[in-house]
Amino acid sequence: MIEFFSSLIANLGFILDRLTWLDVLDLLLVTVVFFIILQLLKGTQAVVLLRGVFLLIILIGLLTSLDVLPAFSWLVQTTFPALLLAIPVIFAPEIRRALEKLGRAGELLPVEKNPAAQDLISTIVVACSRLADRQHGALIILQRRDSLEEYIQTGVRLDSQATPEILLQIFYPNTPLHDGAVIITGGRVIAAACVMPLSSSGVLARSPDRQMGLRHRAALGISEVSDAVAVVVSEETGSIAVVHGGRMIRRLDAERLENILRAFFRPSQPNQGLSGMLRRLFKHSSQEDK
């Protein structure tokens, strides 16, 4: 063991003596790539799995470097290629989610100016305020760029103008459409009683209180697989929350809800080129850290 560490220190000294600025730049680029990947996977179950995989690889590397364990070294060298092929299968949902985040971060198209969006925001604020006062649970999904057609097909198509009265009627307790989510596109209620994917990120499990149920998990779930904005009204407490990008802002009043929604749907100019894509990516990562 002492000889192993002595050899390791000697090899490290040999590498450092021949390190150039190009080698430093190479290492820096690799570090940036791994940092971006970890930021994209942050908040998912993949982080825990990656931690276990890294520890396993380090342990296996140390054990296989010992000449006193030839049988174990042979076993590892034989099964390691199969483990590498199994990684994409194990991490399939997380890889897809990370690629979707990267694709949304790299969008170069501007948000289209939609005059109807401002009227829709007023409708959502009025409806959620009334639902909160009555403690009627609600889940409203506002579609943005990403298509929600596969989730629209799980509900009942309405295609009606979005008004506070329509939303109050849909989410009235014990009515046929009150369970599930309402999906709104372009100022119209496209469908109600839609089934949303439930979040598996563990955000709610780390919450200090346990007052969030399936509606909040569904809101987090749809925000993790799309760029939609979800508005949730709690049936137990009547509190209002907005969910986007796997993050939740809770305990909102009417004024804060309106300001947040207007910020999401405010038309903006795109940042062109690779620098704009990286700027949005790091901005998105910093917002997730808050």
Mean pLDDT of 205-218: 70
**pTM score of the predicted model:** 0.60
Cβ–Cβ < 8 Å for 243, 232 = yes
* pLDDT exceeds cutoff 80 at 190: yes
Cα(214)–Cα(252) distance, rounded to whole angstroms?
A: 19
For residue 266, the model assigns a pLDDT of 74
For 224-260, the pLDDT digits (tens) are: 888 899 999 998 888 999 999 888 898 899 999 999 9
User: Between these two residues, 30 and 241, which has the higher pLDDT value?
Assistant: 241
For residue 24, the model assigns a pLDDT of 79
For each of the domains in the chain, give its residue range(s) and CATH number, in order of start. 2-105 (no CATH), 115-266 (3.40.1700.10)
